[in-house]
Structure 1
Amino acid sequence: MAAVLDSFVKRCTASLEDFADQEACAALGIVDDVRGLLATLLRIDAIISHEERRRVLSAKTDAWVVQVKDAMYEIDDVLDVCMIEGAKILAAGGPPTPKVRCFFCFKLSGPRKFRHEIGFTIRDIDLRLREVEEEMPRLPAGSAHSDDAKRDWFSRDVCKNCSDAMKPQAVGSQVQKAVGGLVPRMLSKRFLLVLDDLESPSIWDNLLKDSLGDGVVRGRILITTRNEEVATSMKATIHHVDKMDPESAWALLCNQVDAECNSEELATLKDVGIKIAEKCDGHPLAIKVIAGILRSRGNSKAEWEMVLNNDSWSMCPILPEVPQAVYVSYVDLSSQLKECFLHCSLYPEEFPIQRFALVRRWIAEGIVNARDKKLLEESAQEYYVELISRNLLQPDPESVERCWITHHLLRSLARALIADESILIYGQQKLNTSLSKPRHLTLCSMENSLDGPISLKQQMGLRSLMLFKSPNVRAIDLLMESASCLRVLDLSKTAVEAIPKSIGNLVHLRYLNLDGAQVRDIPSSIGFLINLQTLSLQGCQSLQRLPRSIRALLELRCLCLYGTSLSYVPKGVGKLKHLNHLDGLIIGHDNNAPEGCDLDDLKALSELRHLHIESLDRATSGASALANKPFLEDLYLSEQAPAIENQEDLEDKDETEKEEKEGQERSNGQCRGDESTKASEKIWNELTPPQSIKKLVIKNYKGVKFPKWIKGPKLGDSFPSLVFLDLENCMSCTKLPSLGLLSQLQSLQISNADSVITIGSEFLGTTVLSSATPFPKLEVLKLRNMKKLEEWSLTVEESQVVLPCLKSLQIQWCPKLKALPEGLKHVALCELHVEGAHSLTEIKDLPKLSDELHLKDNKVLQRISNLPMLRSLIIDDCSKLKHVAGLDALQHLRLVFPPSTETFYFEELVIFWSVAFPRWLELLIQKCKGLRRFELQCGLSLLRSCLDGGKNWHLVQQIPEVRIISCDGKRYFRYNKSRRIYETNAQSEE
């Protein structure tokens, strides 16, 4: 961890230099002591930097590295306390500071006593560092390339991989969760069970083998392991992974560096590229991480040759199984990126890493440096992107907000490099470590108490504590009393109900995450956490009150309150001038009391990037609330949600009855509604979002007309950067704004616009535009729950193009929509999803629709025709479908026949699916020669009719691949023509 130490020493040096010049240092009378320590630290920094450049360490390395690192942690804590006490002295009469226990054994007390104690502590650290300085190596230049020296650097013992630490019960639990129930349920289906990176056969022998029984007859189990003996003991058929040949390795390298690199550039780089690929020894992971380095260097032959000739290729590895290229990739990282990467290994292997939380933890740990007047969060985001670009982190395919460490070998290396200061514990497993001063503790699957496998009383130097999958943890009093040096504390999704008053002792705390915890109250002592940067209470549904002392958290950068039961937020939020992320701010008070925060509190928050406002209708004024917000990008504006009836009750009522009731309610509350509407429109019209907005959400707006700043001919000028727009529950607005004028808009969602009957040219903005293209960059359009929408038109002039970039269109629960707009035939759609459109009778003439058409619960849909490019069709519960034709490119067909639907209609004759396929399906199968895959979910009788000898077998056997499952999921049929697979459990009458 010398590289991380190098970064740590530089941070402490910079902090000492800054503090030495501050008034607080002079007020404490410790300027000479601080400057003496600074001089020692500068000398040590020079030696450490020298050692880092040479990548060598002597036999004494481990001892002095640990001593220097301990001193750096101590300096970091001392500086925090000095800043607190110095500010108190300068304020001369500020609020009393709580007594704080720190691992350097003194308490904040009277100023005179504190000056004596802190001066003694600083001098003691200086003396110890000077002694360590004498022991640090002084290596001649000639020994820089000594293999022995490098072997000393990479000779430390290795911390076990996370997969080693996972208990078999935890794996079994994950298997059950993946299949949605117990193992017997899995055995009723075809299944593929993958046990990745298996370290020992115990998981199979002690847990899964007996549970699965003869299930392996119906399923397959795939094992990946680095230990061939594991596979042998499990009597598995062994397939060795062959190394990539040079040409394949070169192709992968090119693709990873630049998938669009032209052939001429590749020709100039191929010779050196092949040599680099050869050094990767045909290992795909090695090639990918080396490609990450090359991508950062550009397509320069000289830069590639520098990577090829890097001394790091000749290092002696700390883990023999890790490819040498991985070490080269790690060494090539900057000190900050190394620390960021190592921090990711603190997460349990099976848990995705949340981007939002990760970057704020990096900041809390002091890893991130401010650069070019950017916010720390912006710099941290750049680190995150860089690690992904270098193939060290892998984005989750299901969410851009999550990532994983790319490969278990990378994780093993990171855990080994951070083993000297971190512990990861699963449940009540026995702790096998001699680590005396852990700085980072991760606990997974803990019960009520945290003080089980490790005594928190002895962990006074702990800097981060994170809990995962520990919903039963309640007792945290001991933690608050002992771990006084914490910077990061994550108690999210635990059963913690009460935060003890002793939380005020954690004066070093920067990051506090209580998301989803059962917290009922936050003590006023939280105001003593003057270094706190992130306070996240999202989803704390039992939380009903915030203390007024929250306005004392002057260093707060992120405050998340969304999803709580708070009725108001205390006044004074405007004092938190470092806030850049404010989520779930509730305006006003539920009983109009003056304690509630108003929009005026936002005026001073000029650093905001994300702002989420709730209960906007309780505001008294909003004229300048969003003024002076030049960096604001995400804006969420919401009034209180209207009271609605239970959805099940609404569904049981006749449509006429519902409309009559709505009309009566409108008549009875017209006066009150008019007043509410006018007040709502006044507040919203006074708000003027800045031009920097990229994401805008408007929810529960009660006005009849949209705010003036989101309509009119200059809408495009008002929001030149808007990429995402969501209009939700704007129930009284009868017309949509001219959103086609938004030149950068990529995603648009409109839901619960109950009063909109038609969507026409005003939506496109064609009444304003002459020749410009409406929605020039829109890629995703979603229309949901628009219960009165009847007509939608995309009519434009012949010279205009509409929706040129639209890829995905979703229309859900628009029961009165009679037809899709004719203009869609000119749109090159990839995906179209239509659900709950109960007045739509046909879908036709979409010649450019290519990837998928998904139709669900459209009660009167009868025809599908002229979709010549469509490759995949999914039909779920469209019971009146009669005609399907003109799908010449169809390759995949999926039909779902719900148990609630008894019949399918064709040519006015009831065709019982329990007997045969409808005529349109027979014709479709016969005419679509390119149909490769057919999936069907249906009743047991129809399933059996598809088996060999059944009424539909002559159709089924024409399709290369068929998968059919019964509605209850118990019976199945699988057929693959080319692979000669015919499997079913539906022949039995049981």
Structure 2
Amino acid sequence: KAVGGLVPRMLREGKKKVDVFAIVGAVGIGKTTLAREIYNDDRMTENFPICVWVDMSKNLSELDFLKTIIRGAGANVGVTENKEELLILLASALSKRFLLVLDDLESPSIWDNLLKDSLGDGVVRGRILITTRNEEVATSMKATIHHVDKMDPESAWALLCNQVDAECNSEELATLKDVGIKIAEKCDGHPLAIKVIAGILRSRGNSKAEWEMVLNNDSWSMCPILPEVPQAVYVSYVDLSSQLKECFLHCSLYPEEFPIQRFALVRRWIAEGIVNARDKKLLEESAQEYYVELISRNLLQPDPESVERCWITHHLLRSLARALIADESILIYGQQKLNTSLSKPRHLTLCSMENSLDGPISLKQQMGLRSLMLFKSPNVRAIDLLMESASCLRVLDLSKTAVEAIPKSIGNLVHLRYLNLDGAQVRDIPSSIGFLINLQTLSLQGCQSLQRLPRSIRALLELRCLCLYGTSLSYVPKGVGKLKHLNHLDGLIIGHDNNAPEGCDLDDLKALSELRHLHIESLDRATSGASALANKPFLEDLYLSEQAPAIENQEDLEDKDETEKEEKEGQERSNGQCRGDESTKASEKIWNELTPPQSIKKLVIKNYKGVKFPKWIKGPKLGDSFPSLVFLDLENCMSCTKLPSLGLLSQLQSLQISNADSVITIGSEFLGTTVLSSATPFPKLEVLKLRNMKKLEEWSLTVEESQVVLPCLKSLQIQWCPKLKALPEGLKHVALCELHVEGAHSLTEIKDLPKLSDELHLKDNKVLQRISNLPMLRSLIIDDCSKLKHVAGLDALQHLRLVFPPSTETFYFEELVIFWSVAFPRWLELLIQKCKGLRRFELQCGLSLLRSCLDGGKNWHLVQQIPEVRIISCDGKRYFRYNKSRRIYETNAQSEE
């Protein structure tokens, strides 16, 4: 209801260029939630091309505040540190209608000192939405105020039900309403309190006795730790097991503005000794369960953009966690002075540090420090003091720093269990690392300057995770097989770049029976041990790659005349064919002997040089070989002429095939169908991507009449397949939601897809002429398809977006040159006239065509029929915005300047 009332008020045009709105209410009452719903509302995103969210609880400096807005608006800040220059950039960045949200604003000073003069009299209209606990802040900014009050009992009960059971089993929950209402009343109408209590109830099941135990919990009457934190939040914390309590408190060691990476988090929990092994599970598996439970209890919130990241759900929860762990942890920003008497912290988090770690707190005094994590400190280089003093460290995170040399004294940190150097500038790892006998995680991912590992790495017998992907290593020393506790091995390089015996071989993997994740590179350098994968019963993620093929410098080729090129190619064919055949046979032999286990869920095959795919990924028994495979990526298998029968993979949900340069046709062999088989090909496939298949000409999905093909496919992407002549006819039976076709330069038409529903995106298809019979399609995006002549049969179309690149001066329709600077082509005119349900039209084009859409222009009679229109020039400087129902007509394209 609040969203329904506020959004229309914010959209209504007033006398001011920039109107301020405020959501005012007590802490934890739902101000941020309401602001987020408004921010994400389709009506707001449609009317405000620029939307920026700023979390004011982060105590940003004036300069950082301005930079945040400028970057959020999509502009470049550069290197300036001058406030006046940033204010100029701010005005330039907000060049279109904008929505700026300032969440948790405590003072009007930002408005008075920075925004009032810069935006108040701006040319472009905008809205500023603030959330605040202090009504005086809103009043001083002359904001239109919306108060958020506590939820009434029925609304609170409805929220509780929704959080406990998203599917709302109303009959079952109705029997719990009397006790549920009492619990909701104890939450005092606070949405946050209701959500965390719902997390407890969800873990107890829909049992009235269990709910009454929560209602009568003694923690409700305990003295509050922080007066601003609802008691229900503390009740939720008390209900956690001792391990979950420590896991939750550990999350508060991260700076508030940084997302928490799941992979690193669970391994830090293990390094701290928080996680207990249970039911013969790996520690990592138990830790994953802790992670899932904290999310289920609404204490951690997954990042909507990535399942691999999360945040503490609310700043009140973070405040509680910081208060509970205050006796043993410190978080410092830059040269911030400490306001604490804590002399011997166990956990230290440093953010935005300069080149040295020894600043606001002397590391020489921190003998009992157990964890040290650095964030946003790319200039830190000196870490010698750390190695000399912090001998009790268990967790050390120096990722994304400028540290180049790891001192030999690192061997003194014998208690260290977690060492993260991801993205650091480390050039060498000292052999003294072998003294870290308790080390469980060593992550060197993205250390591009790292060129060698010491042999002593094989002495790290407790190592459970080794990440080497993205380094400049040419080999990994032999002896990895001694690390029998490894369950995650990423970026293992096989062999040596000059065939020296020091490099590890596949034989080193035979003893690693606990592996869950294995990433192997330079597989073509293997000389033995191809059967090493046979005893990996728990392996789920497998990445297999040979060395990437060498690519001759294009400039060198262009400098040679044709005769030289022909002579060189002839010599290569005669002299290199034998070597190529030998290399191909050797590659096929190694791969054929690998035999991955049936436990595999994710498989990546990259740079395979064989002509035929390995025997274990083809043939009629493929489904039996990989009964659990969910994700498959075939990349750079450039010599294979036929694709395997991947349709036999019964659990496959995502398939990506790229750079299969030798595949000319995809037929029934891809589906795995036979006359004797009635099985459904690809029964669970949801996403299919075909990319950069240079020779692909034909693709068919022909099956028997009684068979169904691709019953679950939702998204199909075909990109850079320049010889593909037509889409498979069988697609007409597939209930696609999204179809993306790009760079298909032989495709002349897209037709007869009666079940395609959500979106068709067409880009850079040079000979595409016809689009027809897509009766359920709601959104059509066309970008640079200059030969298009006919678009019809789109009866359900609601959204149309067209992009005409600046390089396109004229387009050809029915053998006539029609200048876009004058009029729309006939197909577009007919489409607009016939699609009565078209609600939104977007166009990016040249300035002349843009002006032809204005009132009085040649295309105005078409444009004015559409409820909402947005047109922008190719350079982004001129625009036209029209909303029929709300009588909005805005443009800056009339001027010749």
What's the TM-score once normalised by structure 1's chain length?
Answer: 0.78
Q: Kindly provide the CA deviation profile for residues 856-882 of structure 1, in whole angstroms up to 9, marking residues without a partner as x.
A: 111111111111111111111111111
**Which residue does the alignment assign to 1:281?**
188
**Which residue does the alignment assign to 1:919?**
826
SS of structure 2 residue aligned to 1:625: helix
| Larger CA deviation: 542-551 vs 234-243 | 234-243
SS of structure 2 residue aligned to 1:478: helix
Instruction: Please state how far the C-alpha of 1:458 moved relative to its aligned partner.
Output: 1.6
Instruction: Please state how far the C-alpha of 1:964 moved relative to its aligned partner.
Output: 2.0
| Larger CA deviation: 328-337 vs 956-965 | 956-965
Q: Kindly provide the CA deviation profile for residues 439-470 of structure 1, in whole angstroms up to 9, marking residues without a partner as x.
A: 21111222211112222112221111111111
| Larger CA deviation: 432-441 vs 807-816 | 432-441
Indicate which of 207, 224, 227 corresponds to 1:320: 227
Q: Is the 8 A contact 1:725 1:749 kept in 2?
A: yes
Residues 316/443 of structure 1: CA separation in 2 closer, same or farther (3 Å cut): same
Instruction: Please state how far the C-alpha of 1:733 moved relative to its aligned partner.
Output: 0.4
Q: Kindly provide the CA deviation profile for residues 139-183 of structure 1, in whole angstroms up to 9, marking residues without a partner as x.
A: xxxxxxxxxxxxxxxxxxxxxxxxxxxxxxxxxxxxxx9999999
Instruction: Please state how far the C-alpha of 1:578 moved relative to its aligned partner.
Output: 0.5
Instruction: Please state how far the C-alpha of 1:847 moved relative to its aligned partner.
Output: 0.9
Q: Kindly provide the CA deviation profile for residues 77-122 of structure 1, in whole angstroms up to 9, marking residues without a partner as x.
A: xxxxxxxxxxxxxxxxxxxxxxxxxxxxxxxxxxxxxxxxxxxxxx
| Larger CA deviation: 938-947 vs 756-765 | 938-947
- Distance in 2 separating the partners of 1:240 and 1:506: 55
- Distance in 1 separating the partners of 2:353 and 2:330: 14
Residues 661/960 of structure 1: CA separation in 2 closer, same or farther (3 Å cut): farther
- Distance in 2 separating the partners of 1:524 and 1:181: 66
Structure 1 residues 814-963: aligned runs within 5 Å:
814-963=721-870
SS of structure 1 residue aligned to 2:339: coil
Residues 459/268 of structure 1: CA separation in 2 closer, same or farther (3 Å cut): same
- Distance in 2 separating the partners of 1:502 and 1:227: 52
Residues 290/781 of structure 1: CA separation in 2 closer, same or farther (3 Å cut): same
- Distance in 2 separating the partners of 1:896 and 1:182: 33
Q: Kindly provide the CA deviation profile for residues 417-456 of structure 1, in whole angstroms up to 9, marking residues without a partner as x.
A: 2222222222222322222122211112222111122221
Q: Kindly provide the CA deviation profile for residues 237-264 of structure 1, in whole angstroms up to 9, marking residues without a partner as x.
A: 3322233343333333222222224332
**Which residue does the alignment assign to 2:218?**
311
Residues 462/816 of structure 1: CA separation in 2 closer, same or farther (3 Å cut): same
Residues 654/444 of structure 1: CA separation in 2 closer, same or farther (3 Å cut): farther
- Distance in 2 separating the partners of 1:368 and 1:414: 19
Q: Kindly provide the CA deviation profile for residues 16-39 of structure 1, in whole angstroms up to 9, marking residues without a partner as x.
A: xxxxxxxxxxxxxxxxxxxxxxxx
- Distance in 2 separating the partners of 1:302 and 1:924: 63
SS of structure 1 residue aligned to 2:600: coil
Residues 922/720 of structure 1: CA separation in 2 closer, same or farther (3 Å cut): same
Q: Is the 8 A contact 1:443 1:467 kept in 2?
A: yes
Instruction: Please state how far the C-alpha of 1:310 moved relative to its aligned partner.
Output: 2.4
**Which residue does the alignment assign to 2:875?**
968
Instruction: Please state how far the C-alpha of 1:236 moved relative to its aligned partner.
Output: 3.2
| Larger CA deviation: 711-720 vs 667-676 | 667-676
- Distance in 1 separating the partners of 2:517 and 2:457: 19
Q: Is the 8 A contact 2:261 2:309 kept in 1?
A: yes
Residues 324/528 of structure 1: CA separation in 2 closer, same or farther (3 Å cut): same
Structure 1 residues 431-450: aligned runs within 5 Å:
431-450=338-357
Q: Is the 8 A contact 1:793 1:822 kept in 2?
A: yes
- Distance in 1 separating the partners of 2:749 and 2:209: 62
Q: Name whichever structure is richer in strand by fraction.
A: 2
Aligned residues, how many? 812
Instruction: Please state how far the C-alpha of 1:574 moved relative to its aligned partner.
Output: 0.6
Residues 973/616 of structure 1: CA separation in 2 closer, same or farther (3 Å cut): same
Instruction: Please state how far the C-alpha of 1:267 moved relative to its aligned partner.
Output: 2.5
Instruction: Please state how far the C-alpha of 1:557 moved relative to its aligned partner.
Output: 0.3
Instruction: Please state how far the C-alpha of 1:960 moved relative to its aligned partner.
Output: 2.0
Instruction: Please state how far the C-alpha of 1:505 moved relative to its aligned partner.
Output: 1.2
Instruction: Please state how far the C-alpha of 1:952 moved relative to its aligned partner.
Output: 2.2
Residues 794/268 of structure 1: CA separation in 2 closer, same or farther (3 Å cut): same
Q: Kindly provide the CA deviation profile for residues 450-493 of structure 1, in whole angstroms up to 9, marking residues without a partner as x.
A: 11222211222111111111111111111111221111111111
Q: Kindly provide the CA deviation profile for residues 896-940 of structure 1, in whole angstroms up to 9, marking residues without a partner as x.
A: 111122223332222222222222222222222222222222222
1:562 counterpart = 2:386: no
Q: Is the 8 A contact 1:197 1:224 kept in 2?
A: yes
- Distance in 1 separating the partners of 2:268 and 2:636: 35
Residues 544/886 of structure 1: CA separation in 2 closer, same or farther (3 Å cut): same
| Larger CA deviation: 814-823 vs 955-964 | 955-964
- Distance in 2 separating the partners of 1:860 and 1:626: 48
- Distance in 2 separating the partners of 1:659 and 1:854: 41
Instruction: Please state how far the C-alpha of 1:612 moved relative to its aligned partner.
Output: 0.4
Residue segments in structure 2 that go unaligned for 5+ positions in a row:
9-93
Instruction: Please state how far the C-alpha of 1:948 moved relative to its aligned partner.
Output: 2.6
Residues 322/678 of structure 1: CA separation in 2 closer, same or farther (3 Å cut): same
| Larger CA deviation: 201-210 vs 289-298 | 201-210
Residues 732/931 of structure 1: CA separation in 2 closer, same or farther (3 Å cut): same
Instruction: Please state how far the C-alpha of 1:644 moved relative to its aligned partner.
Output: 2.1
Residues 272/661 of structure 1: CA separation in 2 closer, same or farther (3 Å cut): farther
**Which residue does the alignment assign to 1:489?**
396
Residues 528/812 of structure 1: CA separation in 2 closer, same or farther (3 Å cut): same
Q: Is the 8 A contact 2:373 2:397 kept in 1?
A: yes
Q: Kindly provide the CA deviation profile for residues 186-236 of structure 1, in whole angstroms up to 9, marking residues without a partner as x.
A: x22222222222333444455555655644853222222233333344443
Residues 691/938 of structure 1: CA separation in 2 closer, same or farther (3 Å cut): same
Instruction: Please state how far the C-alpha of 1:650 moved relative to its aligned partner.
Output: 9.6
Q: Kindly provide the CA deviation profile for residues 292-338 of structure 1, in whole angstroms up to 9, marking residues without a partner as x.
A: 22221222222223223323233332223323322222222111111
Q: Is the 8 A contact 2:96 2:124 kept in 1?
A: no
Residues 789/956 of structure 1: CA separation in 2 closer, same or farther (3 Å cut): same
Q: Is the 8 A contact 2:599 2:628 kept in 1?
A: yes
Instruction: Please state how far the C-alpha of 1:679 moved relative to its aligned partner.
Output: 0.5
- Distance in 2 separating the partners of 1:405 and 1:192: 26
Q: Kindly provide the CA deviation profile for residues 673-694 of structure 1, in whole angstroms up to 9, marking residues without a partner as x.
A: 1010000011111111011111
- Distance in 1 separating the partners of 2:630 and 2:149: 45
1:412 counterpart = 2:319: yes
| Larger CA deviation: 229-238 vs 495-504 | 229-238
1:302 counterpart = 2:126: no
Q: Is the 8 A contact 2:95 2:124 kept in 1?
A: no
SS of structure 2 residue aligned to 1:291: helix
Instruction: Please state how far the C-alpha of 1:672 moved relative to its aligned partner.
Output: 1.1
Q: Which structure carries more relative contact order (alpha carbon 8 Å, separation 6+)?
A: 1
Residues 545/788 of structure 1: CA separation in 2 closer, same or farther (3 Å cut): same
Residue segments in structure 1 that go unaligned for 5+ positions in a row:
1-176
**Which residue does the alignment assign to 2:57?**
none
| Larger CA deviation: 520-529 vs 965-974 | 965-974
Residues 357/907 of structure 1: CA separation in 2 closer, same or farther (3 Å cut): same
- Distance in 2 separating the partners of 1:652 and 1:908: 39
Residues 882/763 of structure 1: CA separation in 2 closer, same or farther (3 Å cut): same
| Larger CA deviation: 211-220 vs 290-299 | 211-220
**Which residue does the alignment assign to 1:268?**
175
**Which residue does the alignment assign to 2:68?**
none
Instruction: Please state how far the C-alpha of 1:955 moved relative to its aligned partner.
Output: 2.1
Residues 909/645 of structure 1: CA separation in 2 closer, same or farther (3 Å cut): farther
SS of structure 2 residue aligned to 1:624: helix
Q: Kindly provide the CA deviation profile for residues 880-903 of structure 1, in whole angstroms up to 9, marking residues without a partner as x.
A: 111111111112211111112222
| Larger CA deviation: 650-659 vs 455-464 | 650-659
- Distance in 1 separating the partners of 2:639 and 2:412: 51
- Distance in 2 separating the partners of 1:658 and 1:183: 66
Q: Name whichever structure is richer in helix by fraction.
A: 1
Q: Is the 8 A contact 1:713 1:768 kept in 2?
A: no
What's the TM-score once normalised by structure 2's chain length?
Answer: 0.86
**Which residue does the alignment assign to 2:4?**
180
Indicate which of 533, 536, 552 corresponds to 2:440: 533
| Larger CA deviation: 929-938 vs 721-730 | 929-938
Q: Kindly provide the CA deviation profile for residues 352-401 of structure 1, in whole angstroms up to 9, marking residues without a partner as x.
A: 11111111111111111101000000001011111111111111111111
- Distance in 2 separating the partners of 1:653 and 1:339: 67
SS of structure 1 residue aligned to 2:311: strand
Q: Is the 8 A contact 1:280 1:325 kept in 2?
A: yes
| Larger CA deviation: 624-633 vs 409-418 | 409-418
Instruction: Please state how far the C-alpha of 1:656 moved relative to its aligned partner.
Output: 15
Q: Is the 8 A contact 1:189 1:970 kept in 2?
A: no
- Distance in 2 separating the partners of 1:248 and 1:180: 16
SS of structure 1 residue aligned to 2:5: coil
Q: Is the 8 A contact 1:183 1:211 kept in 2?
A: no
- Distance in 2 separating the partners of 1:657 and 1:861: 38
| Larger CA deviation: 370-379 vs 311-320 | 311-320
Residues 535/206 of structure 1: CA separation in 2 closer, same or farther (3 Å cut): farther
